[in-house]
Amino acid sequence: MAWMLERRTYDAPQRLKKLLAQPGILQTPGAHDALTGRAAKKAGFEALYVSGAAFSASRAMPDLGYFTVTELADYVRNLFRATDLPIIVDVDTGFGEVLHVPRTTYELEEAGAAAIQMEDQKLPKKCGHLEGKELVSSEDMCRKIEAFVKTRKDLLMVARTDAHAIFGIEEAIRRAKQYVNAGADIIFPEALKTEEEFRYFAAEVKVPLLANMTEFGKTPYYTAKQFAEWGYKIVIYPVTSLRVAMKAVEEVFLMIKNEGSQVRMVDRMQTRQELYELLDYAGYGQFDEGVAQSRFI
């Protein structure tokens, strides 16, 4: 059925919990727009990730915390409506201090998110795989987590620590344990590099763990099976779809500019019929015809 015609209830956090309780690892691709989210669902993925980096880039802005919580919530609301999948949403540093976390929590829960991901960086924040990051104290991060716990209804918290790149694995583990004690449901250790580090972290931190399989970063290209064997429950691919799409867009635009035609790229395009199937174009027509034949007319 076409998504706009469906009736649904907000139970995304509960569904994410059920997925995490199942054996294996939850592969979670980033969706930088709702159509990409539909494609992920069609491919069989059971959850989605909204990357702050991809969301910023889709608005031609750098990943420095420039977008607002209302802009993000508007996007998440549309993505949730279009896919009805549990969504993990990157909220960077929570859009402010402790006092601002309840607003962030409310907006994203109302938008349909299953979980928010908050990190322990200072503003202006940076990509976790870049140099020059600065962290807040673990106590300040715990206060933000506590503010979240006090105001959420069912929304889950993914607490990300960037401590490894600056202070090493032991500090990352120490912070993670503090964040769990403060109420975090899931822990995300950013920018680990080796199998030994991933295994050691999982042995020390006893809650569901999230691994980041981004491109061009500090983490080598490990498989979902490897992460599962090392004790991780979620693996995200945060910017993959955006990078692939933008590379194709650059290529076809250069082709049109230089050759005056897109014809050499046609066989690499999604066809009109494939797009209509993804949108369930026929479903809307069937709904319209059904109403037109209503017995009340």
Kindly report the CATH number assigned to the domain that includes residue 208. Answer: 3.20.20.60
Residue 97 confidence (pLDDT) above 60 = yes
Same domain? 135 vs 269? no
The residue that leads in pLDDT, 3 or 181, is: 181
pLDDT per residue as tens digits for the range 261-285 = 999 999 999 999 999 999 988 888 7
Measured CA to CA in angstroms, residue 38 lies from 3, 15, 88 at distances of 10, 18, 16
Residue 98, domain member (yes or no): yes
Its domain, for residue 210, covers: 8-239
Same domain? 148 vs 256? no
Give the residue among 52, 12, 61 at the shortest CA–CA distance from 32.
Answer: 52
Same domain? 279 vs 196? no
Same domain? 75 vs 161? yes
Measured CA to CA in angstroms, residue 37 lies from 75, 81, 88, 260 at distances of 12, 10, 13, 32
Q: How far apart are the first and last CA of the chain?
A: 24
Query: Which residue is it, tokens 């082709």?
Result: 255
C-beta of residue 17 within 8 angstroms of C-beta of residue 156: yes
Pick the range with the lowest mean pLDDT from 112-116, 173-177, 242-246, 278-282.
Answer: 278-282
Same domain? 171 vs 253? no
Residue 206, domain member (yes or no): yes
Number of domains, the chain: 2
pLDDT per residue as tens digits for the range 178-230 = 999 999 999 999 999 999 999 999 999 999 999 999 999 889 999 999 999 99
Residue 2, domain member (yes or no): no
